[in-house]
Amino acid sequence: MRPTFSVTARAGAARLGQLTTAHGVIDTPAFMPVGTYGTVKALTPEELTGLGAQIVLGNTFHLMLRPGTAVIAAHGGLHRFMHWEHPILTDSGGFQVFSLKSLRRISEEGVRFRSPIDGAEVRFTPEDSMDVQLALRSDIAMALDDCTAHPATEAQARESMERSMRWAARSFAHYHRGEAPPGGLFGIVQGGMHLALRRASLESLLRLDWPGLAVGGLAVGESEEERLGVLDAVVPHMPADRPRYLMGVGRPEDIVAAVLRGIDLFDCVIPTRHARNGHLFTHTGVINIRNSIHRSDLAPIDSACDCYTCRNYTRAYLRHLDRCNEMLGSRLNTLHNLHFYLGLMRALRAALAAGALDGWAREFFAGRRADEA
Amino acid sequence: MRPTFSVTARAGAARLGQLTTAHGVIDTPAFMPVGTYGTVKALTPEELTGLGAQIVLGNTFHLMLRPGTAVIAAHGGLHRFMHWEHPILTDSGGFQVFSLKSLRRISEEGVRFRSPIDGAEVRFTPEDSMDVQLALRSDIAMALDDCTAHPATEAQARESMERSMRWAARSFAHYHRGEAPPGGLFGIVQGGMHLALRRASLESLLRLDWPGLAVGGLAVGESEEERLGVLDAVVPHMPADRPRYLMGVGRPEDIVAAVLRGIDLFDCVIPTRHARNGHLFTHTGVINIRNSIHRSDLAPIDSACDCYTCRNYTRAYLRHLDRCNEMLGSRLNTLHNLHFYLGLMRALRAALAAGALDGWAREFFAGRRADEA
C-alpha cells in the first residue's frame, strides 16, 4: 500500500504527523533505528518495540550481498526474515555504493562495483535497486541516487544531481511498472551544498507524484551551517502534505534543529554505533564509559533516565563489560542510547502536541554542555 | 546463610532435590550457566530467569583481575554488580590458575602468576581465594584446589591431590574464621584418574563439615570411560544428604550419565560457547549453522523446540547473522542452547518426580544421532 501522511499540528515550520503504511502507523517526527543487515545491532524486534521504535531502516546494498535477495524473498520479505512486524524503510543502496569509492564505476546506466564480500563484479542500476526493494517488500523504498562527493564544484554537483534526477525517474517508472507495489517510493533531493541546484533538484522531482521526499547528500562532512543552509533553502518548498525525510542525520541537536525546520523522518547510526564504542547520551551531553573516572562509579549512566539499563546497572558495571568486550555491554548501551533518541522524539511530539515547542527547544539547547567524549 | 539440601525422590543413584540458599532455591539436578565476567555472555538476568536458570556461576579468578574485587565489593557483592538476584556459585580460581601453565608457579603457600591482563605478579593463596569469594558474597564458594594435570602418574596425582587437601583445610578455616559467611563452602575431590587417590581425597575432605562436595579435575581431556570410572568410584561414597557437583561437565549425554550416577549440580561453557560458534543443539544432535545447507532453510533450529529463537527465526536468518558477525546471532543461539540445557534438566527432574527416569534415559540415548558439527 502507498503510504499516506497527515499533519495533526504545527509550530512554525515544525509538524506533528502520522505516516500510515501497510505495517502500521508512524508518529512523526520519528527516528528510525538502522538495521543494516536485517538486525538493529544487538537488539531483538521486541526490544525495539518496547523502546518505542515504530519503523526501522534496512540497507538494500548490504542485504543484496548478504544473504542475497533470493533468501529474503523466500521468507516473503524482510519483515518475516528479521521477525519485525512493523514498517520498514529501505535505502536505495546509493550511499553505500558511493562509499565504495575506488571499487566502483558510475555510468549513465548505473553502477558497477566489486563486491566487498567476494570480489565479484556486481551491476547495480536504478531498476536493480527497485527490484531488490520490491523483493524485500519495504513499506518505504528509496529512489537510487548518485551521492555527490563533498566538497564538489558547481559543475560536479550539477552533473551528479542531474544523473540522480534521471535515475529517480527510472526508479519511479520501474517501481510502479507492475501490480500495486507493497509500499511507496520516496524521491531524494540532491545538489550538494549548492542551493540553486538543490532547488532545481526538488523542482525536477516534483514532476512525479512521490508519497514522500527525502533530503540526501548531507552528513557527508559538511559544516552545520552548510547543512542548515540546505534545509532552509529546500524544506520550505517541499510539499506540505508529504513526509520529509532527512537522510543520515544526526546528533540529537541536529535532529531538533531539523524538526524546527519542518523535517519529519530521521535515521542515523550514531545512537547504535556510539553505544558499541561506549559513547552514551545523557540529558546534559555524552559520556565515554571507557573513561577511568567511571571505574567504581555506582551511578547509572543518567540518573534522569528510566531505561532498563539505567534502572538496573551502574557505570562501573558497564565500563567493566566494555573492557571485557562483553556483548551484554553493547546491548545495554544500545538500549540506553536508542531510548534516549526515541525519548527525544517523544518529547518533541509531546511539545508539538502541547503547542509548546519553542520553549521546549530553548530549554533543550540550554541544557546541553560540552561532551566528555 | 549456609546452604541446605533435601532429597525429595530417588531412582537408583539419581536424586531429585532442592538446594536452598540465601538468594533462593535451586531444583536439582541443576545446570548452572557460566557467567565468567559477571555476565552470562550475551544475555540479561531476566532472560536467564525466563529460561529457567536458578543459579549462575561466576569466575573468581577473572573477576578478581577485572574489574577487581574492590569494585564488586563496593556494589555490595556480585549479585548487585551484575543485577542477578538469584543464587551464585563462584569457582575458586584453581582451574583458571592451572590453565595459565607457564605463567604460574605453585608452592605450598599458593600460586604466584603473571596477570594475563597487565603482566603484574599476583599472589593467590587459599586465603586469598576465600577473601575474594567472601567479598563477592557468593551463595556457594569453592575451596581452592590444585588441579592435577592430565595425564598424571600416580606420584604426580598424589602430590597434587594432597596439596589440594591441605589447601581445602586452609580454605575451610579461612572461610569460617569470622562472622557467619554469606553462603557455604564446598570441598573438591581431586586425584586424577587414580581411583584410590580419589577415594583418599574424599576421605580427607570428610573430616570437615562441608555443606556440599564437588568432583573436580575432570573434563581435562580424559576419556568418557575414565570419567565415568572416577564417578563410579567416588560418588557412591559421597554423603547422601549433601549436594554433589560435577565441575565443568559437559555434553548433554555426559550430564544424563552423571545424573544417573547421583550428581546434582553441573556447570559447563559448552552451551554458551557452542552458541557463539554456531553449534546448536537439537533433540537429535548438534547442527552447525555455518553449514551452507542452511543458506535458504526456512525451518527453525529444532521444530520440536519452543524457545524464543525457534518460535521466531529461521535457520537461514541465523546463518546470515552468524556470517555477518551480528551480536543478535550469538544472543539467539545462546538463548536456544541454554533453553536446550535447562529443558534437559527440567525433563530429568520431571522423569525423577514421575518415577520414570530409566525409561526416559533409554529414550534419550536412543534418540541421539551422530552430530553434524
The C-alpha cell at A85 is: 512486524
Chosen from B80, B326, B332, B333 to mutate, greatest number of chain A CBs within 10 A:
B326
Cβ of B44 within 8 Å of Cβ of A314? The answer is no
What pLDDT score was predicted for residue A273? 98
Any idea what the Cα angle at residue B152 is, between residues B146 and B158, rounded to 5°?
Answer: 55
What pLDDT score was predicted for residue A99? 85
Cβ of B81 within 8 Å of Cβ of A312? The answer is no
Query: Mean pLDDT over residues B128-149, rounded?
Result: 97
> Within a 10 A sphere around the Cβ of B357, how many other Cβ atoms?
24
What pLDDT score was predicted for residue B369? 63
Residue percentage of chain A with pLDDT more than 90: 93
Residue B273 forms contact with A (CB below 8 Å): no
Give the Cα separation of A143 and B234 in Å (integer).
Answer: 71
Across the interface, of A39, A314, A321, the residue whose CB is closest to B321 is A39
What pLDDT digit, counting tens, does each position of B222-255 carry? 999 999 999 999 999 999 999 999 999 999 999 9
Instruction: Give A-chain residues touching B41 at CB under 8 angstroms.
Output: 326-328
Residue A327 forms contact with B (CB below 8 Å): yes
Q: Does an H or E element contain B344, and which?
A: helix B327-353
Distance from CA of A62 to the nearest CA of B (A): 10
Across the interface, of B312, B314, B320, the residue whose CB is closest to A66 is B320
Instruction: Give B-chain residues touching A50 at CB under 8 angstroms.
Output: none
Give the Cα separation of A304 and A231 in Å (integer).
Answer: 32
Nearest residue in chain B measured CA to CA from A313: B83
Chosen from B64, B324, B330 to mutate, greatest number of chain A CBs within 10 A:
B324
What pLDDT score was predicted for residue B371? 60
Where do we find the cell 569460617? B176
Residue A49 forms contact with B (CB below 8 Å): no
Cβ of A41 within 8 Å of Cβ of B327? The answer is yes
Where do we find the cell 506540505? A240
Q: Would you say A82 and A41 are in contact if contact means Cβ atoms under 8 Å apart? A: no
> Within a 10 A sphere around the Cβ of A155, how many other Cβ atoms?
9
DSSP H helices in B176-289 = 195-205, 224-234, 252-260, 270-276
Query: If we measure between CA atoms, which residue out of A342, A187, A186 comes closest to residue A255?
Result: A342
Instruction: Give A-chain residues touching B39 at CB under 8 angstroms.
Output: 321, 326, 328
Query: Mean pLDDT over residues B40-61, rounded?
Result: 98
Distance from CA of A363 to the nearest CA of B (A): 34
Instruction: Give B-chain residues touching A64 at CB under 8 angstroms.
Output: none
What pLDDT digit, counting tens, does each position of B322-353 carry? 999 999 999 999 999 999 999 999 999 999 99
**pTM (whole model) above 0.95:** yes
Q: Is the pLDDT of residue A261 over 60?
A: yes
Across the interface, of A83, A295, A319, the residue whose CB is closest to B313 is A83
pLDDT range class, residue A116, cuts 50, 70, 90 = confident
Nearest residue in chain B measured CA to CA from A77: B317
Residue B70 forms contact with A (CB below 8 Å): yes
Q: Is A254 a catalytic residue?
A: no
Q: Is the pLDDT of residue A370 over 70?
A: no
Q: How far is CA A306 from the centre of its chain?
A: 25
Residue A291: partners with Cβ closer than 8 Å, 6 or more residues away: A319, A372
Chosen from B85, B276, B296 to mutate, greatest number of chain A CBs within 10 A:
B296
Question: Residue B287: left (phi > 0), alpha (psi -120 to 50), or beta?
Answer: beta
Query: Mean pLDDT over residues B111-133, rounded?
Result: 94
Across the interface, of A74, A312, A317, the residue whose CB is closest to B296 is A74
Nearest residue in chain A measured CA to CA from B67: A320
What pLDDT score was predicted for residue B373? 47
DSSP code, position A189: E
Cβ of B331 within 8 Å of Cβ of A81? The answer is no
The C-alpha cell at B80 is: 548487585
What pLDDT score was predicted for residue A372? 54
What pLDDT score was predicted for residue A373? 47
Q: Would you say A73 and A89 are in contact if contact means Cβ atoms under 8 Å apart? A: no
pLDDT range class, residue B372, cuts 50, 70, 90 = low
Coil, helix or strand for B1? coil
Mean pLDDT score across all residues of chain A? 96
DSSP H helices in chain A = 45-51, 60-63, 69-74, 78-82, 94-99, 126-136, 154-175, 195-205, 224-234, 252-260, 270-276, 308-312, 315-323, 327-353, 357-366
What pLDDT digit, counting tens, does each position of B15-43 carry? 999 999 999 999 999 999 999 999 999 99
pLDDT range class, residue A90, cuts 50, 70, 90 = very high
Angle between helix A327-353 and helix A357-366 axes, rounded to 10 deg: 140
Nearest residue in chain B measured CA to CA from A334: B327
Residue B207's Cβ-count burial label (10 Å; 0-12, 13-18, 19+) is: exposed
Across the interface, of B70, B314, B326, the residue whose CB is closest to A37 is B326
Give the Cα separation of B93 and B36 in Å (integer).
Answer: 11
Cβ of A295 within 8 Å of Cβ of B71? The answer is yes
Nearest residue in chain A measured CA to CA from B297: A71
